Amino acid sequence: MAREPTLPESFFTGQLLVAMPTLMDPPFAQSVIYVCAHTPDGAMGLVLNRPLVKPSFDELLQQLDIAPVPPARRIRLCVGGPVDNARGFVLHTTDWIGEGSLQVNDDLALTASLDVLKAIAEGGGPAEGMLALGYAGWGPGQLDAEIQQNAWLSVPADRSLVFGDDAETKWRRALGLLKIDPFLLSDTAGHA
């Protein structure tokens, strides 16, 4: 009997997941997710193309009692996923690393402490960053199974997709990196 191939540990860490057109689940339909961690224990990522309208970055800083308001600089806010949506995660470049930061790869890190927001508000911190409230999470083997069921495509991370402001075009642009027209995609997975 043939065995399904196993994915190497951390296989999708640092990659973008692009929802297939047939994935209609509201939090994930036409979503682009940056995978922060993918291990045998599960996976965690941030949806990049669901802007958060309220609170604004300034309002969030006020709620968290972080000065100065208005800040010296701002970062974009998004809904990172349906899990733990009251918790914030800053995905940022590795030119700034704080205590407790998780370095995803050579280019990007994830920080859940207020230190990064304080640094940004004061005009410092990482060169690029975005704040996600909540995250997308998968249990052991769940993401691997969803990919084998043709729910997601994997795309190398592109800085303009991760940090760019144009959320409405991210899904199409991510597919464009693969030179794929979303309307020509099949919902049936093939196996060689």
Q: Which domains does the chain have, with CATH numbers?
A: 15-184 (3.40.1740.10)
Stretch (H or E) spanning 33 = strand 32-39
Region 61-74: mean pLDDT is: 95
Query: In sequence order, which residues have a C-beta less than 8 Å from that of residue 169 and are 6 or more positions away?
Result: none
- DSSP category for residue 21: T
Angstrom distance (rounded) from CA 64 to CA 55: 12
Which pair of structure tokens corresponds to residue 174?
């991510």
Angstrom distance (rounded) from CA 120 to CA 31: 27
Say yes or no to pLDDT of 155 above 90: yes
Region 59-75: mean pLDDT is: 95
Residue 177: phi and psi, rounded to 5, are: -60, -30
20-24, 44-48, 184-188: which is most confident? 44-48
Tell me if the pTM is above 0.85. Answer: yes
Q: How many residues does the chain have?
A: 192
Long-range contacts, 174-183 (Cβ 8 Å, 24+): 174/16, 174/18, 174/32, 175/18, 178/18, 178/153, 180/153, 182/21, 183/21
pLDDT of residue 185: 56
Percentage of the chain modeled with pLDDT above 70: 89
pLDDT digits (tens, 9 = 90+) for 125-140: 999 999 999 999 999 9
Give the residue among 79, 99, 96, 95 at the shortest CA–CA distance from 87: 79
